Amino acid sequence: MNNYADHSDAELVQRMRAGDHAAFTEIYRRYWKRLYALAYHRLHNREQAEDVVQDVLTGLWQRREADLVRSLGAYLATAARYAVFTHLSRRQPLAGMDTVPEAMQATKDETAQLRFLQQSMEEELQLLPEKCRLVFNYSRQEGLSNKEIARHLDISEKSVEKHITKALQRLRLQFRNYLHGFF
């Protein structure tokens, strides 16, 4: 029997692309609560948040054969934010209301901030030493475990941990003021 809980996100995505229902079920189990919390935080409505999560995960399964997912967690979080935005935009405006609802404006602002932050982070990551950058990308972009990275690069797991720590420290240092204001 295959224990999908032990698989990395990247492995689950690969299996899901091949039509493996059990891999999708593990993704669902792994991410449902996080996506629900994200949606509920914006919508403040349990049923609407559940609908958003269901839409996101259903969409993931329906588009499983497309090569869209690089980092499963980031992909699902972005899809959930977009689904919340779409949900909010479908709400009927109040009579005489000509402006965009405040909740939608915040979402647009956050989207612009996230794009800027992502671009800045990518630029900052390019300044890391090659092996450090490679380890960080395997960890955060590909979703590989430390053990998988160590095996793939033929280095110790401790080295993997040190490289990830170094990259995260650098990012925290460079973005400490921006992230404090953002959150």
Same domain, 7 and 86: yes
Same domain, 80 and 2: yes
Same domain, 87 and 125: no
Judge contact between 140 and 71, C-beta under 8 A. Answer: yes
pTM (2 d.p.): 0.52
Domain that holds residue 183: 102-183
**Chain centre distance of CA 84:** 15
Same domain, 43 and 81: yes
pLDDT in tens, the chain (183 residues): 578 999 999 899 999 999 999 999 999 999 999 999 989 988 889 999 999 999 899 989 988 887 778 788 888 888 888 888 777 766 544 444 444 445 444 455 556 666 666 677 778 888 889 999 899 888 877 778 899 999 999 999 999 999 989 988 887 787 776 554 443
- Please state, in angstroms and rounded to a whole number, the distance separating the CA atoms of residues 91 and 51: 14
Conformational region of residue 33, where left means phi above 0, alpha means psi within -120 to 50, and beta covers everything else: alpha
Nearest CA among 145, 137, 146, 143 for reference residue 71: 143
